[in-house]
Amino acid sequence: MTWIELALLILASYRLTHLIVFDSIMEPVRERLGPIPFIGELISCYWCCGVWASGLLVGAHLLWPAVSFPLILLLAVAGGQAIVESLVRRD
C-alpha cells in the first residue's frame, strides 16, 4: 500500500464515519436503528463507528481495489473538503 492510498483511506474513513454518526441525512437511520443495542452504539459512537468504517473501506480496497477506488476517492475528497471548511469557518 502506498502513502497516497493510506492518505485516501484515512480521509475516506473520516468522511464515512462523520456521515454515519453526525450528518442529518443519516438521522432517520440512526433513529430507527438506535434502540438496537449493538447497532445503536455502533452508529452513535464516533470511535466505534470509525473502526468499523475503516475496516469496511480497507477491506474493500484490499479485496476489490478497482471497484472500491471511486467510492474511496469520493469520500476522501469530501473528507478533505470538510476539514478545509471547518478550518475556514473558525474565523
Q: In this predicted model, what pLDDT tens digit does every residue of 9-58 receive, in sequence order?
A: 999 999 999 999 999 999 999 999 989 989 998 999 999 999 999 999 99
Residue 87 has pLDDT above 80, yes or no: yes
> Apex CA 4: angle with CA 47 and CA 6, to 5°?
25
Residue 91 has pLDDT above 70, yes or no: no
Q: How far, in Å, CA of 9 to CA of 28, rounded?
A: 26
Residue 81 has pLDDT above 80, yes or no: yes
The structure's pTM equals 0.91
Quote the DSSP letter at residue 36.
S
Q: How far, in Å, CA of 39 to CA of 30, rounded?
A: 9
